[in-house]
Structure 1
Protein backbone atom coordinates (compact mmCIF):
# COMPACT_ATOMS: atom_id res chain seq x y z
CA UNK A 1 0.00 0.00 0.00
CA UNK A 2 2.88 2.40 0.84
CA UNK A 3 6.24 2.05 -0.87
CA UNK A 4 9.35 4.21 -0.45
CA UNK A 5 12.05 3.37 -2.97
CA UNK A 6 15.53 4.83 -2.42
CA UNK A 7 14.03 8.11 -1.13
CA UNK A 8 16.30 10.96 -0.08
CA UNK A 9 15.66 14.59 0.80
CA UNK A 10 18.14 17.33 1.64
CA UNK A 11 17.95 20.84 3.09
CA UNK A 12 21.00 22.58 1.72
CA UNK A 13 23.99 20.44 2.67
CA UNK A 14 22.03 18.50 5.32
CA UNK A 15 20.59 15.18 4.15
CA UNK A 16 17.43 14.79 6.24
CA UNK A 17 16.38 11.42 4.77
CA UNK A 18 18.91 9.03 3.25
CA UNK A 19 18.07 6.26 0.78
CA UNK A 20 14.86 5.19 2.53
CA UNK A 21 13.46 1.85 1.36
CA UNK A 22 10.24 0.87 3.11
CA UNK A 23 7.04 -1.03 2.30
CA UNK A 24 3.98 -0.88 4.57
CA UNK A 25 1.25 -3.39 3.75
CA UNK A 26 -2.57 -3.10 3.83
CA UNK A 27 -3.91 -3.84 7.30
CA UNK A 28 -0.62 -2.91 8.96
CA UNK A 29 -0.20 -0.36 11.74
CA UNK A 30 3.34 0.93 11.36
CA UNK A 31 5.07 3.22 13.87
CA UNK A 32 8.04 5.37 12.86
CA UNK A 33 10.23 6.33 15.81
CA UNK A 34 13.18 8.68 16.22
CA UNK A 35 14.55 11.66 18.09
CA UNK A 36 13.71 15.20 17.01
CA UNK A 37 15.60 15.79 13.80
CA UNK A 38 15.82 12.10 12.89
CA UNK A 39 13.84 12.57 9.66
CA UNK A 40 10.37 11.41 10.68
CA UNK A 41 8.39 14.53 9.81
CA UNK A 42 10.28 15.02 6.55
CA UNK A 43 9.38 11.43 5.67
CA UNK A 44 5.73 12.02 6.45
CA UNK A 45 5.59 15.30 4.53
CA UNK A 46 6.97 13.54 1.48
CA UNK A 47 4.48 10.71 1.92
CA UNK A 48 1.47 13.05 1.93
CA UNK A 49 2.79 15.22 -0.89
CA UNK A 50 3.79 18.34 1.05
CA UNK A 51 7.44 17.85 0.05
CA UNK A 52 8.96 16.27 -3.04
CA UNK A 53 11.68 13.68 -2.65
CA UNK A 54 15.06 14.88 -3.82
CA UNK A 55 15.69 11.38 -5.14
CA UNK A 56 13.69 8.18 -5.31
CA UNK A 57 9.93 7.63 -5.43
CA UNK A 58 6.96 7.15 -3.11
CA UNK A 59 3.81 5.28 -4.12
CA UNK A 60 0.44 4.92 -2.39
CA UNK A 61 -1.73 2.08 -3.66
CA UNK A 62 0.39 2.07 -6.80
CA UNK A 63 0.09 5.81 -7.47
CA UNK A 64 3.28 7.86 -7.45
CA UNK A 65 2.87 10.72 -4.97
CA UNK A 66 4.85 13.17 -7.12
CA UNK A 67 3.58 12.14 -10.57
CA UNK A 68 -0.08 11.40 -9.75
CA UNK A 69 -0.68 13.50 -6.63
CA UNK A 70 -4.46 13.73 -6.95
CA UNK A 71 -4.98 9.97 -7.18
CA UNK A 72 -2.59 9.38 -4.27
CA UNK A 73 -4.20 12.09 -2.11
CA UNK A 74 -7.68 10.62 -2.59
CA UNK A 75 -6.52 7.52 -0.75
CA UNK A 76 -4.93 9.31 2.20
CA UNK A 77 -6.17 10.82 5.43
CA UNK A 78 -3.56 13.02 7.16
CA UNK A 79 -3.33 14.25 10.74
CA UNK A 80 -0.32 16.61 11.16
CA UNK A 81 1.56 17.15 14.40
CA UNK A 82 0.09 20.66 14.71
CA UNK A 83 -3.64 20.89 13.92
CA UNK A 84 -4.41 23.85 11.66
CA UNK A 85 -8.00 24.96 11.08
CA UNK A 86 -9.60 28.02 9.49
CA UNK A 87 -10.28 30.31 12.45
CA UNK A 88 -13.36 31.96 10.96
CA UNK A 89 -15.08 28.69 10.12
CA UNK A 90 -16.98 26.57 12.57
CA UNK A 91 -15.93 22.98 12.99
CA UNK A 92 -18.92 21.85 10.95
CA UNK A 93 -18.06 24.27 8.14
CA UNK A 94 -14.47 23.05 8.14
CA UNK A 95 -15.58 19.42 7.94
CA UNK A 96 -17.98 20.26 5.11
CA UNK A 97 -15.16 21.99 3.26
CA UNK A 98 -12.93 18.92 3.60
CA UNK A 99 -15.76 16.64 2.45
CA UNK A 100 -16.20 18.79 -0.65
CA UNK A 101 -12.46 18.69 -1.30
CA UNK A 102 -12.67 14.90 -1.33
CA UNK A 103 -15.59 15.03 -3.75
CA UNK A 104 -18.16 13.47 -1.41
CA UNK A 105 -21.73 13.90 -2.66
CA UNK A 106 -24.18 15.82 -0.50
CA UNK A 107 -25.96 12.85 1.06
CA UNK A 108 -22.74 10.91 1.59
CA UNK A 109 -21.03 13.99 3.05
CA UNK A 110 -23.87 14.65 5.50
CA UNK A 111 -23.78 11.05 6.74
CA UNK A 112 -19.98 11.12 7.02
CA UNK A 113 -20.07 14.39 8.99
CA UNK A 114 -22.69 13.08 11.38
CA UNK A 115 -20.74 9.86 11.95
CA UNK A 116 -17.43 11.60 12.68
CA UNK A 117 -19.01 14.27 14.87
CA UNK A 118 -20.48 11.50 16.99
CA UNK A 119 -17.34 9.35 16.93
CA UNK A 120 -15.09 12.16 18.17
CA UNK A 121 -17.60 13.80 20.50
CA UNK A 122 -17.62 17.13 18.64
CA UNK A 123 -21.31 17.89 19.13
CA UNK A 124 -20.88 20.33 22.01
CA UNK A 125 -18.58 22.68 20.05
CA UNK A 126 -18.76 21.78 16.35
CA UNK A 127 -20.86 24.86 15.52
CA UNK A 128 -18.50 27.27 17.29
CA UNK A 129 -15.74 29.10 15.42
CA UNK A 130 -12.55 27.06 15.51
CA UNK A 131 -10.57 30.06 16.76
CA UNK A 132 -12.10 29.33 20.17
CA UNK A 133 -10.98 25.68 20.24
CA UNK A 134 -8.42 24.25 22.62
CA UNK A 135 -5.56 22.16 21.22
CA UNK A 136 -7.42 18.96 22.07
CA UNK A 137 -10.61 20.15 20.37
CA UNK A 138 -8.63 21.07 17.25
CA UNK A 139 -6.89 17.70 17.24
CA UNK A 140 -10.18 15.82 17.46
CA UNK A 141 -11.62 17.94 14.64
CA UNK A 142 -8.61 17.29 12.41
CA UNK A 143 -8.93 13.56 13.09
CA UNK A 144 -12.59 13.70 12.12
CA UNK A 145 -11.67 15.50 8.89
CA UNK A 146 -9.03 12.88 8.07
CA UNK A 147 -11.57 10.06 8.47
CA UNK A 148 -14.45 11.58 6.48
CA UNK A 149 -13.67 9.72 3.26
CA UNK A 150 -12.72 6.46 5.00
CA UNK A 151 -9.13 6.59 3.71
CA UNK A 152 -7.28 3.47 2.66
CA UNK A 153 -4.11 5.01 4.16
CA UNK A 154 -4.15 7.01 7.39
CA UNK A 155 -1.01 9.04 8.15
CA UNK A 156 -0.71 10.52 11.63
CA UNK A 157 2.17 12.59 13.02
CA UNK A 158 2.29 12.61 16.85
CA UNK A 159 -1.42 11.77 17.18
CA UNK A 160 -1.61 11.79 20.99
CA UNK A 161 0.00 15.16 21.80
CA UNK A 162 -2.28 17.46 23.78
CA UNK A 163 -5.12 14.98 24.19
CA UNK A 164 -6.85 14.10 27.45
CA UNK A 165 -6.88 10.45 28.60
CA UNK A 166 -10.35 9.80 27.16
CA UNK A 167 -9.36 11.18 23.75
CA UNK A 168 -6.10 9.22 23.82
CA UNK A 169 -8.05 5.99 24.30
CA UNK A 170 -10.44 7.02 21.53
CA UNK A 171 -7.59 7.66 19.08
CA UNK A 172 -5.77 4.44 19.97
CA UNK A 173 -8.94 2.43 19.40
CA UNK A 174 -9.58 4.22 16.11
CA UNK A 175 -6.08 3.56 14.77
CA UNK A 176 -6.24 -0.12 15.66
CA UNK A 177 -9.75 -0.57 14.29
CA UNK A 178 -8.87 1.19 11.04
CA UNK A 179 -5.94 -1.15 10.40
CA UNK A 180 -8.03 -4.18 11.35
CA UNK A 181 -10.49 -3.20 8.61
CA UNK A 182 -7.67 -3.57 6.09
CA UNK A 183 -6.42 0.02 5.88
CA UNK A 184 -2.79 1.04 6.30
CA UNK A 185 -1.90 3.22 9.29
CA UNK A 186 1.44 5.06 9.26
CA UNK A 187 2.15 6.71 12.61
CA UNK A 188 5.06 8.82 13.80
CA UNK A 189 5.27 9.18 17.56
CA UNK A 190 7.49 9.91 20.55
CA UNK A 191 4.99 8.06 22.75
CA UNK A 192 6.82 4.75 22.88
CA UNK A 193 4.24 3.07 25.11
CA UNK A 194 1.60 3.75 22.43
CA UNK A 195 3.86 2.35 19.71
CA UNK A 196 4.51 -0.74 21.82
CA UNK A 197 0.79 -1.20 22.43
CA UNK A 198 -0.44 -0.60 18.89
CA UNK A 199 2.17 -1.19 16.20
CA UNK A 200 2.50 -4.36 14.16
CA UNK A 201 5.98 -3.22 13.08
CA UNK A 202 8.23 -0.33 14.01
CA UNK A 203 10.92 1.58 12.19
CA UNK A 204 13.63 3.58 13.96
CA UNK A 205 15.22 6.54 12.20
CA UNK A 206 18.50 8.13 13.23
CA UNK A 207 20.18 10.97 11.37
CA UNK A 208 17.99 10.38 8.36
CA UNK A 209 18.61 6.64 8.12
CA UNK A 210 16.31 3.75 8.94
CA UNK A 211 18.45 1.82 11.42
CA UNK A 212 15.85 -0.78 12.42
CA UNK A 213 12.75 -2.22 10.76
CA UNK A 214 10.73 -5.07 12.23
CA UNK A 215 8.58 -6.22 15.12
CA UNK A 216 9.21 -5.56 18.78
CA UNK A 217 10.19 -9.19 19.24
CA UNK A 218 12.70 -8.91 16.40
CA UNK A 219 14.18 -5.83 18.08
CA UNK A 220 14.51 -7.79 21.33
CA UNK A 221 16.29 -10.57 19.46
CA UNK A 222 18.62 -8.07 17.79
CA UNK A 223 19.46 -6.48 21.14
CA UNK A 224 19.73 -9.90 22.86
CA UNK A 225 17.14 -8.88 25.46
CA UNK A 226 14.31 -11.01 26.82
CA UNK A 227 11.10 -9.08 27.54
CA UNK A 228 12.61 -5.60 27.32
CA UNK A 229 10.30 -2.62 26.88
CA UNK A 230 10.31 -0.69 23.62
CA UNK A 231 11.55 2.39 25.50
CA UNK A 232 14.65 0.66 26.85
CA UNK A 233 15.37 -1.07 23.56
CA UNK A 234 14.93 2.11 21.55
CA UNK A 235 17.19 4.14 23.83
CA UNK A 236 19.95 1.52 23.75
CA UNK A 237 19.76 1.31 19.95
CA UNK A 238 19.88 5.06 19.39
CA UNK A 239 22.47 5.77 22.10
CA UNK A 240 24.73 3.20 20.47
CA UNK A 241 24.65 5.27 17.27
CA UNK A 242 25.62 8.49 19.04
CA UNK A 243 23.89 11.74 19.87
CA UNK A 244 21.38 12.77 17.18
CA UNK A 245 21.86 16.01 15.28
CA UNK A 246 18.99 18.30 14.28
CA UNK A 247 17.87 18.69 10.70
CA UNK A 248 17.80 22.02 8.98
CA UNK A 249 15.49 23.78 8.54
CA UNK A 250 12.66 21.38 9.36
CA UNK A 251 12.39 17.99 11.14
Structure 2
Protein backbone atom coordinates (compact mmCIF):
# COMPACT_ATOMS: atom_id res chain seq x y z
CA UNK A 1 0.00 0.00 0.00
CA UNK A 2 1.34 3.45 -0.88
CA UNK A 3 1.53 5.70 2.16
CA UNK A 4 1.31 9.48 2.30
CA UNK A 5 4.05 11.67 3.74
CA UNK A 6 2.36 12.92 6.88
CA UNK A 7 4.67 13.38 9.85
CA UNK A 8 2.54 11.22 12.16
CA UNK A 9 -0.30 8.85 11.36
CA UNK A 10 -2.15 6.32 13.49
CA UNK A 11 -4.91 3.86 12.60
CA UNK A 12 -6.75 2.02 15.34
CA UNK A 13 -3.87 2.57 17.76
CA UNK A 14 -4.77 0.85 21.01
CA UNK A 15 -3.06 0.13 24.32
CA UNK A 16 -4.46 -2.03 27.10
CA UNK A 17 -2.90 -2.71 30.48
CA UNK A 18 -4.76 -5.79 31.65
CA UNK A 19 -8.43 -4.82 31.58
CA UNK A 20 -7.61 -1.10 31.53
CA UNK A 21 -7.89 0.58 28.11
CA UNK A 22 -5.42 3.47 28.08
CA UNK A 23 -5.80 4.36 24.38
CA UNK A 24 -8.78 3.16 22.36
CA UNK A 25 -8.51 2.79 18.56
CA UNK A 26 -6.89 6.17 18.03
CA UNK A 27 -6.96 7.58 14.49
CA UNK A 28 -5.07 10.79 13.87
CA UNK A 29 -2.94 12.50 11.24
CA UNK A 30 -0.38 15.24 11.83
CA UNK A 31 1.02 17.14 8.87
CA UNK A 32 4.64 18.17 8.55
CA UNK A 33 5.55 21.64 9.82
CA UNK A 34 2.62 21.93 12.24
CA UNK A 35 2.04 22.02 15.98
CA UNK A 36 -0.47 19.43 17.17
CA UNK A 37 -1.84 20.35 20.60
CA UNK A 38 -2.74 17.17 22.50
CA UNK A 39 -5.09 17.90 25.40
CA UNK A 40 -6.76 15.81 28.06
CA UNK A 41 -6.99 15.38 31.83
CA UNK A 42 -4.62 13.21 33.82
CA UNK A 43 -5.15 9.55 32.94
CA UNK A 44 -6.66 10.30 29.53
CA UNK A 45 -3.92 8.36 27.71
CA UNK A 46 -1.77 11.23 26.40
CA UNK A 47 1.55 10.01 27.76
CA UNK A 48 0.81 6.43 26.71
CA UNK A 49 0.08 7.67 23.19
CA UNK A 50 3.36 9.58 23.05
CA UNK A 51 5.29 6.58 24.30
CA UNK A 52 3.75 4.40 21.59
CA UNK A 53 4.57 6.98 18.93
CA UNK A 54 8.19 7.10 20.10
CA UNK A 55 8.44 3.27 20.21
CA UNK A 56 8.91 3.17 23.99
CA UNK A 57 5.64 1.32 24.55
CA UNK A 58 4.38 -1.43 22.26
CA UNK A 59 0.76 -1.02 21.06
CA UNK A 60 -1.73 -3.76 21.84
CA UNK A 61 -3.48 -3.25 18.51
CA UNK A 62 -3.43 -0.87 15.57
CA UNK A 63 -0.64 0.80 13.65
CA UNK A 64 1.32 4.05 13.68
CA UNK A 65 3.85 5.63 11.36
CA UNK A 66 6.45 8.34 11.77
CA UNK A 67 7.28 9.93 8.42
CA UNK A 68 6.11 6.76 6.61
CA UNK A 69 8.11 4.42 8.87
CA UNK A 70 6.23 2.09 11.26
CA UNK A 71 6.90 2.85 14.92
CA UNK A 72 7.71 -0.83 15.35
CA UNK A 73 10.95 -0.12 13.44
CA UNK A 74 12.73 1.86 16.10
CA UNK A 75 15.98 2.13 14.15
CA UNK A 76 14.13 3.70 11.22
CA UNK A 77 12.43 6.42 13.29
CA UNK A 78 15.16 7.08 15.85
CA UNK A 79 16.94 9.85 13.95
CA UNK A 80 13.67 11.56 13.01
CA UNK A 81 12.26 12.07 16.49
CA UNK A 82 13.06 13.90 19.69
CA UNK A 83 11.16 13.28 22.91
CA UNK A 84 10.89 15.24 26.12
CA UNK A 85 8.88 13.24 28.69
CA UNK A 86 7.35 15.00 31.67
CA UNK A 87 10.30 13.80 33.78
CA UNK A 88 13.46 14.49 31.73
CA UNK A 89 15.72 11.41 31.38
CA UNK A 90 18.99 12.71 32.85
CA UNK A 91 21.79 11.32 35.01
CA UNK A 92 22.05 13.19 38.31
CA UNK A 93 25.76 12.44 38.66
CA UNK A 94 26.64 14.19 35.37
CA UNK A 95 26.98 17.89 34.79
CA UNK A 96 24.58 19.52 32.36
CA UNK A 97 27.31 19.77 29.75
CA UNK A 98 28.35 16.13 30.24
CA UNK A 99 24.73 15.00 29.87
CA UNK A 100 24.40 16.79 26.54
CA UNK A 101 27.78 15.56 25.31
CA UNK A 102 26.84 11.99 26.21
CA UNK A 103 23.51 12.22 24.42
CA UNK A 104 25.08 13.87 21.38
CA UNK A 105 27.59 11.04 21.08
CA UNK A 106 24.71 8.54 21.23
CA UNK A 107 23.27 10.39 18.25
CA UNK A 108 26.61 10.17 16.40
CA UNK A 109 27.00 13.93 16.14
CA UNK A 110 30.51 15.05 15.07
CA UNK A 111 32.46 16.43 18.05
CA UNK A 112 32.96 19.95 16.72
CA UNK A 113 29.34 20.28 15.60
CA UNK A 114 28.11 18.88 18.90
CA UNK A 115 30.14 21.39 20.89
CA UNK A 116 28.80 24.29 18.82
CA UNK A 117 25.20 23.16 19.28
CA UNK A 118 25.64 22.69 23.02
CA UNK A 119 27.11 26.17 23.46
CA UNK A 120 24.31 27.74 21.42
CA UNK A 121 21.52 25.96 23.31
CA UNK A 122 23.05 26.62 26.73
CA UNK A 123 23.22 30.30 25.86
CA UNK A 124 19.66 30.37 24.61
CA UNK A 125 18.34 28.83 27.83
CA UNK A 126 20.59 30.86 30.12
CA UNK A 127 22.40 27.78 31.39
CA UNK A 128 25.99 28.64 30.47
CA UNK A 129 27.02 29.55 34.02
CA UNK A 130 25.52 26.33 35.40
CA UNK A 131 26.61 23.95 32.63
CA UNK A 132 29.45 22.45 34.68
CA UNK A 133 27.42 21.85 37.83
CA UNK A 134 26.02 18.43 38.64
CA UNK A 135 22.43 17.88 37.56
CA UNK A 136 21.74 16.61 41.08
CA UNK A 137 22.07 20.25 42.18
CA UNK A 138 19.75 21.60 39.47
CA UNK A 139 16.27 22.95 40.13
CA UNK A 140 13.29 21.36 38.39
CA UNK A 141 13.30 24.14 35.83
CA UNK A 142 17.00 23.67 35.03
CA UNK A 143 16.51 19.92 34.61
CA UNK A 144 13.61 20.66 32.28
CA UNK A 145 15.80 22.91 30.15
CA UNK A 146 18.50 20.24 29.85
CA UNK A 147 15.86 17.69 28.90
CA UNK A 148 14.48 19.95 26.18
CA UNK A 149 17.94 20.73 24.78
CA UNK A 150 18.63 17.00 24.76
CA UNK A 151 15.46 16.36 22.75
CA UNK A 152 16.40 19.00 20.18
CA UNK A 153 20.17 18.55 20.02
CA UNK A 154 20.19 16.27 16.95
CA UNK A 155 17.70 18.54 15.13
CA UNK A 156 14.93 15.95 14.69
CA UNK A 157 12.18 16.47 12.16
CA UNK A 158 9.44 15.54 14.65
CA UNK A 159 9.49 16.52 18.32
CA UNK A 160 7.27 15.11 21.07
CA UNK A 161 6.97 17.42 24.08
CA UNK A 162 5.13 16.35 27.24
CA UNK A 163 4.49 19.40 29.45
CA UNK A 164 7.61 21.25 28.19
CA UNK A 165 7.07 24.37 30.35
CA UNK A 166 6.62 22.42 33.60
CA UNK A 167 8.68 23.97 36.39
CA UNK A 168 9.86 26.92 34.31
CA UNK A 169 9.70 30.57 35.32
CA UNK A 170 7.82 32.90 32.93
CA UNK A 171 10.96 34.03 31.10
CA UNK A 172 12.16 30.46 30.47
CA UNK A 173 8.64 29.37 29.48
CA UNK A 174 8.58 32.20 26.94
CA UNK A 175 11.85 30.94 25.51
CA UNK A 176 10.36 27.46 25.12
CA UNK A 177 7.35 28.84 23.26
CA UNK A 178 9.63 30.84 20.98
CA UNK A 179 11.69 27.71 20.30
CA UNK A 180 8.55 25.76 19.35
CA UNK A 181 7.49 28.55 16.99
CA UNK A 182 10.98 28.59 15.44
CA UNK A 183 10.87 24.83 14.92
CA UNK A 184 7.69 24.95 12.86
CA UNK A 185 8.91 28.02 10.97
CA UNK A 186 11.78 25.80 9.78
CA UNK A 187 9.52 22.89 8.80
CA UNK A 188 9.75 20.75 11.93
CA UNK A 189 6.68 19.12 13.48
CA UNK A 190 5.79 19.42 17.16
CA UNK A 191 3.43 17.06 19.00
CA UNK A 192 2.67 19.03 22.16
CA UNK A 193 0.95 17.79 25.29
CA UNK A 194 0.20 20.43 27.91
CA UNK A 195 -2.37 21.46 30.49
CA UNK A 196 -1.77 25.15 29.74
CA UNK A 197 -4.51 25.97 27.27
CA UNK A 198 -3.14 29.43 26.49
CA UNK A 199 -0.01 27.74 25.10
CA UNK A 200 -2.13 25.61 22.77
CA UNK A 201 -4.20 28.59 21.69
CA UNK A 202 -1.02 30.49 20.82
CA UNK A 203 0.92 27.76 19.05
CA UNK A 204 -1.25 24.88 17.85
CA UNK A 205 -2.42 24.50 14.27
CA UNK A 206 -4.63 21.55 15.25
CA UNK A 207 -5.96 20.54 18.68
CA UNK A 208 -7.03 17.05 19.69
CA UNK A 209 -8.78 16.33 22.99
CA UNK A 210 -8.26 12.84 24.40
CA UNK A 211 -10.56 11.55 27.13
CA UNK A 212 -10.56 8.04 28.58
CA UNK A 213 -8.45 6.94 25.63
CA UNK A 214 -10.85 8.34 23.00
CA UNK A 215 -10.20 11.29 20.70
CA UNK A 216 -13.40 13.18 21.50
CA UNK A 217 -12.84 16.23 19.31
CA UNK A 218 -10.28 17.63 16.90
CA UNK A 219 -9.81 20.81 14.88
CA UNK A 220 -8.04 24.14 14.78
CA UNK A 221 -8.31 26.27 17.95
CA UNK A 222 -10.44 28.77 16.04
CA UNK A 223 -12.74 26.09 14.66
CA UNK A 224 -13.24 24.49 18.06
CA UNK A 225 -14.02 27.75 19.82
CA UNK A 226 -16.38 28.73 16.99
CA UNK A 227 -18.51 25.74 17.95
CA UNK A 228 -19.12 27.37 21.31
CA UNK A 229 -20.24 30.77 20.01
CA UNK A 230 -23.91 29.94 20.51
CA UNK A 231 -23.25 29.02 24.13
CA UNK A 232 -21.94 31.03 27.05
CA UNK A 233 -18.24 30.29 26.54
CA UNK A 234 -16.03 31.00 23.56
CA UNK A 235 -12.55 29.99 24.75
CA UNK A 236 -10.60 26.80 24.21
CA UNK A 237 -11.06 26.11 27.90
CA UNK A 238 -14.82 26.19 27.38
CA UNK A 239 -14.47 23.68 24.54
CA UNK A 240 -12.34 21.39 26.68
CA UNK A 241 -14.80 21.51 29.58
CA UNK A 242 -17.76 20.99 27.26
CA UNK A 243 -16.47 17.89 25.46
CA UNK A 244 -15.38 16.19 28.69
CA UNK A 245 -18.26 17.28 30.93
CA UNK A 246 -20.46 14.22 30.46
CA UNK A 247 -17.69 11.65 30.92
CA UNK A 248 -16.84 9.93 34.16
CA UNK A 249 -13.47 10.39 35.85
CA UNK A 250 -10.51 8.96 33.96
CA UNK A 251 -8.19 6.38 35.49
CA UNK A 252 -5.53 7.84 37.79
CA UNK A 253 -2.37 8.73 35.87
CA UNK A 254 -0.21 6.70 38.24
CA UNK A 255 -2.16 3.51 37.50
CA UNK A 256 -1.61 3.76 33.76
CA UNK A 257 2.00 4.91 34.02
CA UNK A 258 3.01 2.18 36.47
CA UNK A 259 1.40 -0.43 34.27
CA UNK A 260 3.15 1.05 31.27
CA UNK A 261 6.55 0.89 32.95
CA UNK A 262 6.03 -2.78 33.75
CA UNK A 263 4.88 -3.54 30.22
CA UNK A 264 7.90 -1.78 28.73
CA UNK A 265 10.27 -3.78 30.90
CA UNK A 266 8.62 -6.97 29.70
CA UNK A 267 8.94 -5.76 26.11
CA UNK A 268 12.66 -5.22 26.65
CA UNK A 269 12.37 -1.56 25.70
CA UNK A 270 14.31 1.16 27.49
CA UNK A 271 14.35 4.89 26.93
CA UNK A 272 17.47 6.53 25.48
CA UNK A 273 19.37 8.19 28.27
Partner of residue 243 from structure 2, selected from 230, 233, 237 = 237
Specify the alignment match of 2:133 in structure 1.
128
Change beyond 3 A, Cα 1:199–1:24: same
Provide Cα deviations, 1:125-146, integer angstroms capped at 9, x if missing partner.
1111111100000001111111
Q: How far 1:246 sits from its partner (Å)?
A: 3.2
Structure 2 counterparts to residues 65-214 of structure 1, below 5 A: 65-66=71-72, 68-214=73-219
Q: How far 1:224 sits from its partner (Å)?
A: 4.5
Q: How far 1:49 sits from its partner (Å)?
A: 1.4
Q: Distance in 1 between matches of 2:214 and 2:26?
A: 7
Structure 2, unpaired ranges of 5+ = 1-6, 261-273
Q: Distance in 1 between matches of 2:194 and 2:26?
A: 18
Q: How far 1:77 sits from its partner (Å)?
A: 1.1
Is the 2:125–2:145 Cα contact (8 Å) retained in structure 1?
Answer: yes
SS at match of 1:241: coil
SS at match of 1:49: coil
Provide Cα deviations, 1:70-95, integer angstroms capped at 9, x if missing partner.
22011111111012311111111110
Is the 1:84–1:138 Cα contact (8 Å) retained in structure 2?
Answer: no
Q: Which structure 1 residue ranges, 4+ long, deviate > 6 Å from structure 2?
A: none
State TM-score, norm by structure 1: 0.95
SS at match of 1:41: helix
Q: How far 1:243 sits from its partner (Å)?
A: 3.5
Q: Distance in 2 between matches of 1:13 and 1:242?
A: 17
Q: Distance in 1 between matches of 2:237 and 2:230?
A: 13
In the alignment of these two chains, the number of paired residues is 250
- CA-based RMSD: 1.5
Specify the alignment match of 1:246 in structure 2.
252
